[in-house]
């Protein structure tokens, strides 16, 4: 990876995809012709319910700050400043860990 953000090459917006009991807008992003990131738009009132589902599935978050809770080796993110769920490939998760979530 050359340090640029490879997720910004192509985005498909999908509507009506069910996740956590409700139809959602999902943004599927592709880099170098491969799906590498999915945003699932949620609602702020669902944050605690989704967090509990993520903990049940992946255990405790590996990183927490005011805007994010990151799970599963940096492949699942609960965004708290804007209600969304982020799914990443392992490679892109590690890229973001190094670039944006410096500890």
Strands (E), 20-103: 22-31, 34-41, 63-64, 68-71, 76-79, 84-88
pTM: 0.84
Percentage of the residues of the chain whose pLDDT score is greater than 90: 69
What does the mean pLDDT of the chain come to?
88
* In the chain, where the domains are located: 10-45+64-100
- pLDDT grade for 101, boundaries at 50, 70 and 90: low
- pLDDT grade for 3, boundaries at 50, 70 and 90: very low
pLDDT value of residue 99: 79
Q: Is the pLDDT of residue 8 over 70?
A: no
């Amino acid at each position: 990876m050359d340090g640029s953000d490879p997720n910004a090459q192509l985005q498909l917006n999908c509507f009506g995809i069910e996740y956590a009991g409700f139809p959602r807008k999902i943004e599927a992003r592709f880099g170098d012709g491969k799906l590498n990131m999915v945003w699932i738009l949620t609602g702020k009132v669902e944050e605690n319910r989704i967090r509990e589902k993520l903990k049940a599935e992946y255990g405790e978050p590996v990183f927490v700050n005011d805007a994010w809770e990151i799970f599963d080796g940096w492949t699942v993110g609960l965004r708290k400043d804007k209600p969304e769920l982020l799914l990443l490939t392992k490679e892109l998760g590690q890229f973001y860990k190094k670039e944006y979530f410096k500890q």
